[in-house]
Structure 1
Amino acid sequence: MNQPFRTVLLPGRHHVLTRFQAEYLHALLAGEVVDTAGEPVAVAQDAVVVWAVTSANHRGTRRNPVPAARREAAIERFALTEGIESLVVGVVDVAPTDRFAELTVKTVAHETGGLRTPTPEDTVVACSTAAVTAMYRALGFRVVPVEAGHAGDPARPWDVLGMLVAGDDTWRELAHPATVSVLDRYGLADAVVTISADPVVGDEGGLTATREYRSYIAAFEAAAQRKWDQARPWVRPGRIVDVGCATGAMLELAAAEPALHESDLFGVEVARHLYDECEHRKAQGAFAANPNTFFVQANVLNGPVFPPGTVDTTTTFALTHEILSYGDGVPSLERLAEQIAAQTAPGGVWINSDVCGPAGGDRLVRLRLRTDDGARPAGPVDLAALPDPQAHLEGLSTRARFDQFAVDFRRGAGVPYEYEVDGDDVLLSLADAMEFLTKRSYTDNWLSETHERFCALDGDAWTRLVTAAGFEVDPRSGPWRNEWLVENVLSPVAELLDPGTGEQLEWPDTHILLVARLPEGR
């Protein structure tokens, strides 16, 4: 005769615990439940429920809106309230794999020091998801089906979470009081709604699923010193906030400045991958020169991050074009300006460094591109279907890469991209010409970059936008041309010509350093 099970393994993300789960676990521990094969399940009197909290390293995403620490707090409160002996084990997020059940079992064994190693002989798994149930059964475990085996078809935890997001207060009746208490006490119910409705951030907590973060981070950090040197003369000590801080490279430079040692430094980052890297670098001592360095995972478009009038300097480096591209266009930038103005102290500054559209961007130009620096196939292809899109792009001539760009930019950025062909030349607006030329070398992140708009606003449009929010623009700041970009990226492969005379045109401004100050009397 089989011995009673001493362990109940309950895998799941556990953002919400339900009253039904409490009832079911009590019935299971009392020996009143049958498994998926219809066989009674005997559980030992000293049995322990092991809550395997999956995606424990995720927070602030639609898929995982509640931090693991708060999920664990709710489980512990649940266990105490219900008198159920429990252990909580965090399981890191992994890509979909048919070995997920095996990973969870091994994680439980490791995290409990081998004292609670689930085996088919001593552990029953409680799971209502068919695909996950199949994985555990393949390992030899018996499974009890929880909600899936109940005639009343009770709401599953993710159903209850969906009610919360939809504004249906029925979730409070179905959720266990432990969950309700934790979500309310930490303001997480509103946070879950905000995260789930966020128009900018995707399910995994990033702006785009196509970004290759290693090259993105490397490029950002390589330019950090140059950008900091540009911005530093305008930085006002006090509370300094870097919105879209990426991996914190700018704040690391700020932390090293003796003149800013009395300042509080805050990095605000919405992308989970980058926020996690900030916290990792902080743990490694990257910001030790100023211990008052903090990081916040938030989307500033969703509301204030700091109290009104409390920030002396806000910096945004290579951020605003992403907000424009992944939000709802210029209105998103207008909301950003309003949010920054609201948090800025009188006399405080907003320093924005980013790409910029050319003055007179609607002007028609003739774009002449190299045709001898690569192949020119019959036409554009579906890059997402290729095993190595980067290799394909790098094998194209500049002229052929333009053809590919036109298709991908229309689809990715969702904007018109009109042009006419005259032989090998292209006739199009100056802004559209610069959209291609400033992105043509980004072959490693092509699908992300072709989602983004660099040239939507020129310097004058930026001035109008920030002054409408209440700022005054420092006249020493404004658009500028990146000469390295001209010499190494633009001139070697392209010419801008007047469409009527054929005269070669000067390369326009490519970037902006905009310093906006909130008047003292505001």
Structure 2
Amino acid sequence: MAPFVLFPGRHHLLTRFQADYLLRLAEDGSTIVWAVTSANHENTKRNPVPYHRREAAIERFSVLTGLRSVVVPIFDTAPTDAFAEVTLKTIAVATGLDLTPGNTLVACSTPQVVKLYERLGFPIAWAEAALPVQPERPWDVLLRLSQGDDTWRELAHPATIDVFERYRLVDTVRTVINDPIIGDEGGLTATRDYRTYVEAFTVAAERKWAAVRQYVQPGRIVDIGCGAGSVLELADREPGLHESDLIGVEIARHLYQECLHKKDQGVFRNANVYFYQRNVLGGAIFDDRSVDTTLTFALTHEIWSYGERRAAVLQFARRIFDHTAPGGVWINSDVCGPGDRDRPVLLRLTRDDGANPATPRTDLAGLPPAEVKAYVEGLSTRARLDQFAVDFAFPFSYDPVGDDTVRLDQASAMDYLTRKDYTDNWLSETQEQFCGLSFTDWTALLTEAGFEIDPASAPIRNDWVIDNRIAPVAALTDLDGTPLPWPTTHLLTVARRPHNG
């Protein structure tokens, strides 16, 4: 028997079958080398358990079974056929072990992974796949857990059960895997270019902070959907907040990691700066009545868009109300629909600023992002509306009235006009609705959640966007041709939890 058994995998859950199987493979004293892949991922549907908890379960597993183990974290790389080589080199650097086909047996049941090691000449033990009646694989058992099927405990090894119970991972796994908002890799959408978003957050941070600073209460300050942490950087510089806790919460793994990088680099002077990769809709993060100020910027329309519309936003508002201290505040800045959302209007759009194909394309989802960007940017403002209607996740109807004018509802008109220039992330932006709620709708929703609305709350029209992006290529009129003023594009709400609430 080979002195080493290489056991690659994500290893979120360990099974009783694995214990029996590895004991047979290592009966002559072989060392099990656990290559834990996706070690830098957590809180995603594919990787719901953080590496350090997986490592703890493996070590516990080794003690209970008597197996000699070495555990090595393997970080994700871009997809590559050389991943087996990358794994072997990582193990060599981390442990000094030189695993070769002459001294190592690879235990794996995933055909795609097996091929990578077979190509290098390693002998293979096929684990579950070697049996005529295959036992459930670890991921299948984890799915049982996520679905509330308690029989997962009969298949999972006691080491996993112990770690899951001690660290309350059962609820975490169920929440993350069943979450309708978090994507497989811990983001909202697979088409989003996070580099562009980091740049946008940085540019807009000072404007956002200036708009809300006067309403921020010292104490425990939480920025939900904090992006790359740019607003918290500005809060960190405020002398009046130097004794406050500054806490960032971000779903997207790419942005969360950027926050941690900034903290590691010493960007923040306040020692009490913390970041969490969490989804507030998935469950309470903070104790009830424990947060003095909650900040959200350009977040709630995403909750509306990727969740169950108003019900998701109301649930989010109630979560925030629960964790807000009496007298505390939730400050929300986001896009907003017009006051009269359903009003029929005429929208005239320029046709001479780009191409006007006979029909919109239906295949953009299969193209590289750069090609999508180039195509959409090449369309006229009028033709871009037709493309938007195809790609937009919230269907709307419109009727042509001549070559350059359409009849549609005011909310759909503004959803297009406020999105038409977002070509860098076109397929991501068209999955989000900006005009789902008007300011009146927001007032009713916040009141229903238990908040009192501060007089500072108001609908806002971004005149720069109107003057520079919309008015030069579009005109909005009533059905009789009477020009209409451009409606609300954004809002600021300052919602307070009553002192006796």
TM-score (norm 1): 0.93
C-alpha deviations, 1:316-358, integer Å up to 9, x for none?
Answer: 1000000000000011111111111111111111100001111
Q: Are residues 118 and 417 of structure 1, via their aligned partners in 2, closer, same or farther at CA, if it must alter by over 3 Å?
A: farther
Matched, 1:251 2:232: yes
Which residue of structure 1 lines up, in the alignment, with residue 305 of structure 2?
325
- The one-letter amino acid of 2:121's match is G
C-alpha displacement of 1:277:
1.7
C-alpha deviations, 1:433-477, integer Å up to 9, x for none?
Answer: 110000000001111111111011111111111111111111222
1:510 to 468, 489, 497: 489
Matched, 1:278 2:259: yes
Equivalent residue of 2:162, what SS?
Answer: helix
For residues 459 and 106 of structure 2, the distance between their equivalents in structure 1, rounded to whole angstroms, comes to 62
C-alpha displacement of 1:191:
0.6
C-alpha deviations, 1:143-174, integer Å up to 9, x for none?
Answer: 11112223452222112212211222222122
Q: Is the 8 A contact 2:13 2:139 kept in 1?
A: yes
For residues 278 and 421 of structure 1, the distance between their equivalents in structure 2, rounded to whole angstroms, comes to 49
Which residue of structure 2 lines up, in the alignment, with residue 314 of structure 1?
294
For residues 495 and 150 of structure 2, the distance between their equivalents in structure 1, rounded to whole angstroms, comes to 44
1:60-71 equivalence runs, <5 A: 60-71=43-54
C-alpha displacement of 1:281:
1.5
Q: Are residues 81 and 254 of structure 1, via their aligned partners in 2, closer, same or farther at CA, if it must alter by over 3 Å?
A: same
For residues 284 and 155 of structure 2, the distance between their equivalents in structure 1, rounded to whole angstroms, comes to 32
Which residue of structure 2 lines up, in the alignment, with residue 153 of structure 1?
134
Matched, 1:91 2:74: yes
C-alpha deviations, 1:399-434, integer Å up to 9, x for none?
Answer: 11111001111xx23x43444433321111111111
- The one-letter amino acid of 2:2's match is F
Which residue of structure 1 lines up, in the alignment, with residue 21 of structure 2?
24
1:391 to 374, 383, 395: 374
- The one-letter amino acid of 2:496's match is R
For residues 334 and 419 of structure 1, the distance between their equivalents in structure 2, rounded to whole angstroms, comes to 33
C-alpha deviations, 1:220-276, integer Å up to 9, x for none?
Answer: 221111011001110011111111111111111111111001111111112222222
Matched, 1:235 2:216: yes
For residues 350 and 118 of structure 1, the distance between their equivalents in structure 2, rounded to whole angstroms, comes to 55
1:35-434 equivalence runs, <5 A: 45=29, 47-112=30-95, 115-287=96-268, 289-381=269-361, 382-387=363-368, 388-409=371-392, 412-413=393-394, 415-434=395-414
For residues 489 and 243 of structure 1, the distance between their equivalents in structure 2, rounded to whole angstroms, comes to 29
Matched, 1:499 2:479: yes
For residues 264 and 205 of structure 1, the distance between their equivalents in structure 2, rounded to whole angstroms, comes to 25
- The one-letter amino acid of 1:83's match is G
C-alpha displacement of 1:95:
4.1
For residues 521 and 308 of structure 1, the distance between their equivalents in structure 2, rounded to whole angstroms, comes to 14
Equivalent residue of 1:223, what SS?
Answer: helix
Which residue of structure 1 lines up, in the alignment, with residue 435 of structure 2?
455
Which residue of structure 1 lines up, in the alignment, with residue 468 of structure 2?
488
For residues 395 and 423 of structure 1, the distance between their equivalents in structure 2, rounded to whole angstroms, comes to 18
Q: Is the 8 A contact 2:304 2:312 kept in 1?
A: yes
Which residue of structure 2 lines up, in the alignment, with residue 33 of structure 1?
none
C-alpha deviations, 1:55-107, integer Å up to 9, x for none?
Answer: 10110011111101100111111112222221111111234433222221122
For residues 361 and 166 of structure 1, the distance between their equivalents in structure 2, rounded to whole angstroms, comes to 39
Q: Is the 8 A contact 2:100 2:122 kept in 1?
A: yes
Equivalent residue of 2:357, what SS?
Answer: coil
1:472 to 449, 452, 477: 452
C-alpha RMSD of the superposition: 1.4
Q: Is the 8 A contact 1:420 1:428 kept in 2?
A: no
Which of 363-372 and 184-193 deviates more? 363-372
Which of 225-234 and 264-273 deviates more? 264-273
1:431-446 equivalence runs, <5 A: 431-446=411-426
For residues 300 and 486 of structure 1, the distance between their equivalents in structure 2, rounded to whole angstroms, comes to 33
C-alpha deviations, 1:36-60, integer Å up to 9, x for none?
Answer: xxxxxxx6x4x32110000101100
C-alpha displacement of 1:505:
2.2
Which residue of structure 2 lines up, in the alignment, with residue 40 of structure 1?
none
Q: Is the 8 A contact 1:49 1:87 kept in 2?
A: yes
Task: Name stretches of at least 5 consecutive residues in structure 2 with no aligned partner.
Answer: none
C-alpha displacement of 1:185:
0.4
C-alpha displacement of 1:506:
1.8
Matched, 1:519 2:488: no
For residues 486 and 281 of structure 2, the distance between their equivalents in structure 1, rounded to whole angstroms, comes to 34
- The one-letter amino acid of 2:108's match is C
Which residue of structure 2 lines up, in the alignment, with residue 6 of structure 1?
3
Q: Are residues 491 and 465 of structure 1, via their aligned partners in 2, closer, same or farther at CA, if it must alter by over 3 Å?
A: same
